[in-house]
C-alpha cells in the first residue's frame, strides 16, 4: 500500500499532468468534440475569491449508479452526452453512487472531452473493496451493484486513498471539488455516532483536503450532506469552500437553509450547491419523495397548489422548482439528476425559460414560499 508521501507525490504528478492535458486541448481541441455553448444559454457565476463552477446548472450522478432501478448504460451515457450538448459543464458523482458505477460511467464519457472545459466533483468518506463472494446485488437504493464492499473512513490517509481511487475509476488526472460525504445524523450507518465520525473528519479529512487545496491538487472542498447541522459545524470549525446541501432547499422545504446555513456560508465566503432540487422527482410529478419514498403530510397538497399557480402564469412546476433553487446569490450551482436524454433537455429548457415576476409574488402571497426567499430577477 502506498504511504502518504507517495500518495501526495502521485496526486501532485497527476495534477501536473492534468494541466498539460488541459493546455494541449486548448491549443488543439479534438475534432468532433462539442464546444462550450454561448453564455446566453444557461446561467453562469461571476468570478469570486473561492472556487465556483463556471456554470450554475450541473448534472447530478445518482442515476448513473443505478438508483432505484437498473438502466441501460447506453441510455445513461446518452443523458450525459445530451447534458454536454445542452451546455452543461459541471458533473457531480461519488464512489457511493452504485459502488463505483457512477464514477466509471461518467469517466467513460469525459475521456474524450477537453479537461479544461468541465468541472467535476466527487466525494470521500467510503472506501470500496472488491469481494467476489458478494456478487451483483441491491445495496440501499443501488440496483445491480457490483461486487464491492465498503467501509467508512474520514481519516487523512483514507481521504487521500479515496481520491486516488476515484481518479482511477474516472480515468482523470485531477478532481476539482471534493465533498465529505454523508457525515450526517440521517445516515443510519452512523446513527448517534456521527459526531465521533465528524471529529475524525475534523482532524483528518478536513485538514487533508485543506492541505490538498493549498498544494493545488484540488480547487475546493466541502461537505456533501442531507442535513444542515453537519454543514453548519464544518463552517464553524474548518474552512470549506462549497457545501453540497441536498434535500434542504426546494419549493417544498427551504426556510431552515435560508435562516441558518445560507448566512453562515455567506459570512465565510463559501457557496452552496443545491442537490435534489426536485426532491428526487417529487416536484417533477413523480410519486416519490427523497430516498426512502415517505411523503410528508401536506406535501402532495402543497405541490398541487404550486403547480396550479405555475400553470396560471404560463409555466410548469419543474421550471419554477429549478429556477427557485438557482436564485440565491450564495448558490453556485443546481444539480438535478437525470436518467434519460429527454429529462436532461426538459431540465435545461426549464433553466432557460422566462418566468414572470408575478408568479413569485403569487407564491409569496399564498405563503407557499418564504417572504424573504430570493427569486429570479
How far apart CA 340 and CA 28 sit, in angstroms, is 31
User: What phi and psi, each to the nearest 5 degrees, are found at residue 243?
Assistant: -115, 125
Which of the residues 90, 97, 154, 289 is marked catalytic? 97
How far apart CA 116 and CA 194 sit, in angstroms, is 37
How far apart CA 308 and CA 306 sit, in angstroms, is 6
Active site residue 97: yes
How far apart CA 305 and CA 302 sit, in angstroms, is 5
- What are the distances in angstroms from CA 377 to CA 204, 358, 359? 42, 11, 12
Q: Which residues contact 317 (CB under 8 A, 6 or more apart)?
A: 251, 283, 284, 285, 303, 306, 307, 310
How far apart CA 79 and CA 162 sit, in angstroms, is 27
- What are the distances in angstroms from CA 100 to CA 97, 156, 249, 263? 6, 21, 27, 35
Phi and psi based region of residue 337 (left: phi greater than 0; alpha: psi -120 to 50; beta: remaining) = beta
How far apart CA 134 and CA 126 sit, in angstroms, is 17
DSSP run (H or E) holding 344: helix 341-352
User: What DSSP string describes 69-107?
Assistant: S---HHHHHHHHHHHHHTT--EEE--TTTTTTHHHHHHH
**Exposed (0-12), middle (13-18) or buried (19+): which is 286, by Cβ within 10 Å?**
exposed
How far apart CA 340 and CA 83 sit, in angstroms, is 10
How far apart CA 359 and CA 353 sit, in angstroms, is 13
**3-state class of 202 per DSSP?**
helix
- Residues with active-site annotation: 97
Amino acid at each position: 500500500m502506498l504511504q502518504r508521501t507517495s500518495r501526495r507525490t502521485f496526486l501532485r504528478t497527476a495534477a501536473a499532468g492534468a494541466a498539460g492535458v488541459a493546455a494541449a486541448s486548448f491549443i488543439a481541441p479534438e475534432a468532433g468534440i462539442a464546444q462550450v455553448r454561448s453564455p446566453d444559454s444557461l446561467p453562469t457565476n461571476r468570478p469570486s475569491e473561492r472556487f465556483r463552477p463556471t456554470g450554475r446548472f450541473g448534472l447530478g450522478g445518482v442515476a448513473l449508479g443505478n438508483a432505484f432501478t437498473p438502466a441501460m448504460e447506453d441510455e445513461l451515457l446518452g443523458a450525459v452526452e445530451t447534458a454536454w450538448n445542452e451546455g452543461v459543464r459541471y458533473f457531480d458523482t461519488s464512489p457511493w453512487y452504485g459502488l463505483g458505477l457512477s464514477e466509471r460511467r461518467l469517466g467513460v464519457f469525459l475521456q474524450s472531452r477537453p479537461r479544461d472545459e468541465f468541472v467535476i466533483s466527487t466525494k470521500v468518506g467510503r472506501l470500496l473493496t472488491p469481494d467476489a463472494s458478494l456478487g451483483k446485488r441491491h445495496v440501499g437504493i443501488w440496483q445491480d451493484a457490483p461486487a464491492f464492499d465498503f467501509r467508512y473512513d474520514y481519516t487523512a490517509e483514507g481521504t487521500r486513498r479515496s481520491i486516488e481511487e476515484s481518479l482511477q475509476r474516472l480515468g482523470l488526472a485531477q478532481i476539482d471539488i471534493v465533498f465529505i460525504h454523508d457525515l450526517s445524523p440521517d445516515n443510519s450507518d452512523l446513527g448517534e455516532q456521527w459526531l465521533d465520525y465528524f471529529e475524525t473528519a475534523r482532524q483528518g479529512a478536513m485538514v487533508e483536503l485543506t492541505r490538498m487545496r493549498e498544494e493545488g491538487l484540488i480547487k475546493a472542498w466541502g461537505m456533501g450532506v442531507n442535513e444542515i447541522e453537519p454543514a453548519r459545524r464544518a463552517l464553524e470549525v474548518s474552512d470549506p469552500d462549497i457545501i453540497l446541501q441536498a434535500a434542504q432547499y426546494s419549493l417544498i422545504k427551504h426556510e431552515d437553509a435560508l435562516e441558518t446555513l445560507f448566512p453562515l456560508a455567506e459570512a465565510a465566503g463559501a457557496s452552496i450547491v443545491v442537490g435534489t432540487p426536485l426532491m428526487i422527482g417529487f416536484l417533477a410529478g413523480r410519486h416519490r419523495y427523497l430516498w426512502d419514498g415517505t411523503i410528508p403530510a401536506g406535501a402532495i397538497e402543497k405541490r398541487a397548489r404550486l403547480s396550479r399557480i405555475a400553470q396560471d402564469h404560463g409555466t410548469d412546476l419543474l421550471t419554477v422548482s429549478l429556477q427557485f433553487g438557482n436564485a440565491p446569490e450564495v448558490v453556485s450551482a443546481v444539480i438535478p439528476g437525470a436518467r434519460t436524454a429527454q429529462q436532461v433537455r426538459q431540465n435545461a429548457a426549464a433553466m432557460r425559460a422566462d418566468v414572470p415576476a408575478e408568479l413569485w409574488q403569487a407564491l409569496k402571497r399564498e405563503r407557499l414560499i418564504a417572504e424573504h426567499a430570493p427569486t429570479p430577477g
